[in-house]
Amino acid sequence: MSAPGAPLTAAPFEAVAGPGEVVVAVAGCGVCHTDLGFYYDGVRTNQPLPLCLGHEISGRVIACGEGTDAWQGKAVIVSAVIPCGECSACQRGKATICRQQKMPGNDLHGGFASHVVVPARGLCPVDEQRLSSVGLDLAGVSVVADAVTTPYQAVTQAGVTAGDLVIVNGVGGVGGYCTQVARAFGATVVAIDVSDEKLAALPDTVVGHRINARTLGAREIKKSIQDFARSRGLRDKSEWIIFECSGTRPGQETAFSLLNHGATLAVVGFTMDKVEIRLSNLMAFHARALGNWGCPPALYPPTLELVLDGRVQVSPYIEKHPLRDINAVFDAVHRGEIRRRAVLVPDA
């Protein structure tokens, strides 16, 4: 990427691993809406342009820098956000706010490439023998690096347990995986979206109630959830856990309107738009709002385990495209013509 909106172009580079780093031959890299934010919306990257985008990366380690030899030849997922592991925040278990963190496609060259150089501390090993049993290969599992781990971190941070009522607002992409992760944690899940297609794509084994919010007001949505909760013997007026994954102004306003006594609002989606809300609702309901930035590498193995044991399905929600078609794929995703997660595979 040389400038926002300018055609993405191929450029040669030398992939050399320094101390603590590895070179990963990229198998696949998922197209995330964060990439589209950099490209179309003028969101600034931390590393000045030109920069190779892409942070949902899987591949194989082909070269190791000093101190990383144990990774040679291993199939891996690269963490979308790699904390330093040494600062005060990291040492206190708050790696998501590490100020020395490195994000491929933002702080350093990313995965829309044949190879990527990354810190070894951000790697998660992949058992390739188990991938085929869930309909995946090494390229397809790339989306775990953000689309699955981010909601896993959010669900973990929100403290979801069996018996909770979880509401996921915006169920395309990250939101769809959030429904699956919440269900795997034992919650009963309500899915909200403005697309019947996205709602229908979620299996009945995961979602108990679907709401198309396109023509409904906040009170109607809340009443529908209350009625459903009551029918299931769940808490109908308190302690809902709401995940805002739409990354839109209307979606965020809808999610905030669902607060009730003791509720938790977890903001996962991102938008540059400003939202008008009444913060006093947090006080009045003794509720809490949580931000969610990425996922610590330590949570990648348990996230991947949910995929490998089939509790979170990935393969029905992805589609692969050659990396050489990146400009057409970006355009199609931006226009909403590609409904599933696009994974770009480097040319052989």
Residues 116, 169, single domain; the answer is: no
Residues 39, 119, single domain; the answer is: yes
The CATH code of the domain that includes 225 is 3.40.50.720
Q: Which two tokens stand for residue 309?
A: 């044991």
Q: How many whole angstroms separate alpha carbon 264 and alpha carbon 262?
A: 7
- On whether residue 1 sits in a domain, the answer given is no
Q: How many whole angstroms separate alpha carbon 216 and alpha carbon 196?
A: 14
- On whether residue 3 sits in a domain, the answer given is no
- On whether residue 89 sits in a domain, the answer given is yes
Measured CA distances, 150 to 81, 178, 189, 296 (Å): 10, 8, 18, 9
Residues 123, 245, single domain; the answer is: no
In this predicted structure, the answer to whether residue 246 has a pLDDT above a threshold of 90 is yes
Residues 101, 204, single domain; the answer is: no
Residues 120, 137, single domain; the answer is: yes
Residues 284, 303, single domain; the answer is: no
pTM for the whole structure: 0.95
4-33, pLDDT tens digit by residue? 999 999 999 999 999 999 999 999 999 998
Q: How many whole angstroms separate alpha carbon 234 and alpha carbon 162?
A: 11
The CATH code of the domain that includes 27 is 3.90.180.10
- On whether residue 254 sits in a domain, the answer given is yes
Residues 259, 155, single domain; the answer is: yes
In this predicted structure, the answer to whether residue 247 has a pLDDT above a threshold of 70 is yes
Residues 269, 317, single domain; the answer is: no
H/E element, 60: strand 56-64
Residues 226, 278, single domain; the answer is: yes
In this predicted structure, the answer to whether residue 348 has a pLDDT above a threshold of 70 is no
Q: Which domain holds residue 117?
A: 21-146+295-345
Residue found under tokens 């342009």: 49
Residues 156, 278, single domain; the answer is: yes
- On whether residue 266 sits in a domain, the answer given is yes
Measured CA distances, 31 to 37, 71, 119, 221, 320 (Å): 11, 26, 21, 31, 10
110-150, pLDDT tens digit by residue? 999 999 999 999 999 999 999 999 999 999 999 999 999 99
DSSP state of 146: T
Count of the separate structural domains present in the chain: 2
Residues 273, 334, single domain; the answer is: no
Residues 76, 189, single domain; the answer is: no
